[in-house]
Amino acid sequence: MQIKREHVLFLASIILLTFLLYASFNFSDFKKYISNSIISVISDMDGKKQEESSTSTNTPSGDDMVKLLARLINGEARGEPYEGQVAVGAVIMNRVKSSKFPNTIAGVIYQKDQFSCIKDGQFNAPIEENSTVYKAAQDAMNGSDPTNGALYFYNPSKTKSKWLFSLPVVATIGEHKFSLGEAK
């Protein structure tokens, strides 16, 4: 009997749900955690060679990844100049390429405590019709990087992290500062 990937994902979700219920998981974060976990699993599967036909609709498409990255850019850099939006997207792509971070867009975006827009809900804010975040996401995914390899960004007026302030700045675009990550 051949087990389809959908069934494995469904069973894995049920097992995870059962484990979390019995592990006294913080239920205020439960819904967000489950959603993020399932998206990360699906995204990780997208990066691996598939045995199924290329017509499978079970894995995220490139368009889905553009939308996911656009949501992050919208949450973190809405109102920033276009170059700043591309720069934020480039940081995500640089992290995907780095061995220090998860190797998928979803894995990087949903990594715990990395992006304020995930915590404060701005990630789910509607994207305005005339927004440039989709184009910025696509440009970043196509290799545009005005930061020259930065792995971190922050808005000095919004962060209190002494660690971020200790990083050497390689670019300032709009309100954001970008860093490769080596401490001073």
pLDDT in tens, 49-70: 333 334 444 445 567 788 889 9
Residues 144 and 93 in one domain: yes
Its pTM stands at 0.65
Which residues have C-beta within 8 Å of that of residue 101, sequence separation ≥ 6? 95, 107, 108, 111, 151
In tens, the pLDDT along 145-173 reads 999 899 988 888 888 888 888 888 888 89
Residues 40 and 130 in one domain: no
57 in a structural domain: no
CB 65 within 8 A of CB 40: no
Residues 75 and 31 in one domain: no
Residues 74 and 37 in one domain: no
Print the domain residue range for 106: 62-179
Residues 141 and 72 in one domain: yes
Residues 84 and 41 in one domain: no
Number of structural domains (the chain) is 2
